[in-house]
C-alpha cells in the first residue's frame, strides 16, 4: 500500500509534481549576431516569470556573454564557464538570482574572457543537466553561427526559436542556420553509420551523388538502410522551429515571417511556426541602459506588448504539448508534399 493509501498519512495539500516534471526547454538562436537573441531570451524569461512560472535563463554564448547584464546581474559569482572548465559539475550550483522575482540565471561568464565552447563530451553532460534544473522553463540564449555546439543546444530544446531581423544578411544567416539544424537533426536521427554519411554528403548542394531534394536523400537512405526511412520522416515532421521577426518597422517586415515559413515548407518540408514579431522600439534601448528587460521597465511599450504575446503563445503551446494531445493533422507533413522539393 502506498503512503496515501493509509488514512493516517496526511495527504499533501499541493499535489506532488507529476513524474514528467523536467523543465520545458526553449532555445533561442538565429545564426547572426546582434539580431536580438539575448533581447528575446531575457524578455520571454521575464514574461514567463511574471506569469508565475519558475524560470532559469542560461547564457551559452560564452564568447559574447551578456545576458547577465540585460538582466541586471552585473557581476555573477559563478557561471557556465565553471562547468565547461570542469570546476563544477552540478549546473544547479551555478544558478544566481536576478532582480526579477521567479527568474534566475546561469551566466555565460564571470570574468573568464573567451571561454571556448565545451567539447562534445562536456556538451552531452551539459544537455542532460539542463533537464534537471529546478524550473518550469529553461531558456537557452545561443551564440551566433552554426557551430555544432550551437546546433545541439537548439535541437535539444522542446522548442527552438529562430530570431531574425528584416535585413538580407540576417535572413540569409537564418536560412543557413535552419539548413544546418535540419541536416544535423536528420543525421542525429540516423542510427546507421552509412545513412549518417549520406546525410552529411547531401549537405553539400553540389554533391556528386546527385542528391538534390530531401526525397532523393530519403530514397538513398532507404536503399542502404530500409529501417532508417521511418526515423527520417519522423525527424522531419517533428522539427518545428518557431520564428520571431525582431526590430520590425513596416508591414512588409512583419510579413517576412510568413515568407520564411513558406520557404521552410517548400524546400525542407518542415512546418515552421511564425510566433510573432517585435517592433523596433526606443524603449528597448532605454531598458538595456537600465539593465532590465523591457517587459519590466516599459510594460506598455509596443516591444513589451508583442514580447508578452509571444511568451503567452509559447506557454500555451508548451501546455498543449505536455497535455499530450495529438498535434492537429495539418502539422504532420505528408512525405509526398515535402520530399520532392529541391534542397535550398
Binding site for ligand ADP (CB under 6 A): 30, 33-39, 246-247, 278, 280-281, 284-285, 288, 303
> Please, which residue, 35 or 100, has the CB nearer to ligand ADP?
35
User: Could you tell me the smallest distance in angstroms from the CB atom of residue 163 to Mg ion?
Assistant: 10
User: Which CB, 66 or 238, lies closer to Mg ion?
Assistant: 66
CB of 30 to ligand ADP, least distance (A): 6
**Nearer to ligand ADP (CB atom), residue 178 or residue 247:** 247
| Shortest distance in whole angstroms from residue 34 CB to Mg ion | 8
Take residue 271 and report the three cell numbers written for it.
512546418
According to the binding rule CB under 5 A, does residue 213 interact with Mg ion? no
Closest chain position to Mg ion (CB)? 38
Which of ligand ADP, Mg ion, none has residue 196 at its interface (CB below 5 to 8 Å by kind)? Answer: none
Going 344 to 177 to 318 to 12, the CA torsion angle's sign is positive
Distance of alpha carbon 37 from alpha carbon 61, whole angstroms: 10
CA distance 163 to 49: 21
DSSP secondary structure of 84-95 = HTTS---GGGG-
> Which of 52, 332, 143, 53 has the alpha carbon at shortest distance from 151?
143
By beta-carbon proximity to Mg ion, the closer residue of 44 and 190 is 44
Q: Kindly state the smallest distance separating residue 134's Cβ from Mg ion, in Å.
A: 25
In the list Mg ion, ligand ADP, none, the entry touching 151 (Cβ below 5 to 8 angstroms by class) is none
* Closest to ligand ADP by CB, 110 or 170: 170
- Residue (236 or 294) nearer to ligand ADP, CB: 294
Pick one of ligand ADP, Mg ion, none as the site partner of residue 247 (Cβ within 5 to 8 A by kind). Answer: ligand ADP
Among Mg ion, ligand ADP, none, what does residue 280 contact (CB within 5–8 Å per kind)?
A: ligand ADP
40 within 8 A of 163, measured Cβ to Cβ? yes
d(C-alpha 29, C-alpha 142), whole Å: 5
Q: Minimum Å distance from CB 196 to ligand ADP? A: 31
**Shortest gap between Cβ of 56 and Mg ion (angstroms)?**
17
Report the length, in residues, of the chain.
Answer: 344
Give the nearest distance from C-beta 64 to Mg ion in angstroms. Answer: 6
How many degrees, rounded to 5, is the angle at CA 264 between CA 37 and CA 261? 65
Tracing cell 528584416 back to the chain, one arrives at: 166
Q: Pick out residues in 18-57 that bind Mg ion (CB under 5 A).
A: 37-38
Listed residue (99, 100, 98, 105) closest to 135, CA to CA: 105
- What is the residue-wise DSSP string for 112-177? -TTPPPPPHHHHHHHHHHHTTSSSSEEEEE--SS--HHHHHHHHHSSEEEEEE-SSHHHHHHHHHH
Q: Of 79 and 237, which has the nearer Cβ to ligand ADP?
A: 79
**Residues making contact with Mg ion (CB under 5 A):** 37-38
Amino acid at each position: 500500500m502506498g503512503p496515501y493509501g493509509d488514512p493516517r498519512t496526511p495527504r499533501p495539500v499541493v499535489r506532488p509534481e507529476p513524474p514528467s516534471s523536467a523543465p520545458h526547454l526553449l532555445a533561442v538562436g538565429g545564426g547572426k549576431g546582434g539580431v536580438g537573441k539575448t533581447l528575446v531570451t531575457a524578455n520571454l524569461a521575464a514574461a514567463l516569470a511574471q506569469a508565475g512560472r519558475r524560470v532559469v535563463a542560461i547564457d551559452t554564448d560564452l564568447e559574447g556573454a551578456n545576458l547577465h547584464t540585460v538582466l541586471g546581474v552585473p557581476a555573477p559569482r559563478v557561471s557556465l564557464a565553471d562547468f565547461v572548465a570542469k570546476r563544477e559539475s552540478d549546473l544547479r550550483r551555478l544558478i544566481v538570482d536576478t532582480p526579477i522575482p521567479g527568474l534566475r540565471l546561469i551566466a555565460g561568464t564571470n570574468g573568464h574572457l573567451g571561454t571556448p565552447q565545451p567539447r562534445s563530451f562536456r556538451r552531452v553532460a551539459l544537455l542532460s543537466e539542463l533537464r534537471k534544473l529546478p524550473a518550469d522553463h529553461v531558456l537557452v540564449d545561443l551564440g551566433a553561427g552554426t557551430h555544432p555546439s550551437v546546433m545541439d543546444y537548439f535541437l535539444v530544446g522542446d522548442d527552438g526559436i529562430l530570431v531574425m531581423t528584416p535585413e538580407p544578411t540576417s535572413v540569409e544567416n537564418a536560412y543557413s542556420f535552419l539548413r544546418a539544424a535540419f541536416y544535423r537533426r536528420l543525421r542525429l536521427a540516423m542510427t546507421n553509420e552509412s545513412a549518417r554519411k549520406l546525410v552529411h554528403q547531401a549537405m553539400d548542394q553540389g554533391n556528386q551523388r546527385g542528391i538534390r531534394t530531401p526525397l532523393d536523400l530519403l530514397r538513398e537512405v532507404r536503399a542502404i538502410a530500409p529501417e532508417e526511412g521511418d526515423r527520417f520522416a519522423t525527424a522531419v515532421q517533428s522539427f518545428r522551429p518557431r520564428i520571431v521577426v525582431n526590430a520590425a518597422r513596416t508591414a512588409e517586415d512583419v510579413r517576412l515571417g510568413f515568407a520564411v515559413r513558406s520557404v521552410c515548407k517548400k524546400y525542407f518540408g518542415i512546418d515552421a511556426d511564425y510566433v510573432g514579431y517585435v517592433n523596433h522600439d526606443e524603449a528597448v534601448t532605454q531598458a538595456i541602459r537600465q539593465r532590465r528587460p523591457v517587459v519590466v521597465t516599459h510594460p506598455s511599450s509596443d516591444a513589451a506588448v508583442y514580447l508578452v504575446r509571444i511568451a503567452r503563445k509559447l506557454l500555451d503551446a508548451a501546455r498543449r504539448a505536455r497535455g499530450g494531445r495529438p498535434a492537429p493533422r495539418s502539422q504532420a507533413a505528408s512525405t509526398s508534399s515535402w520530399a520532392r522539393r529541391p534542397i535550398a
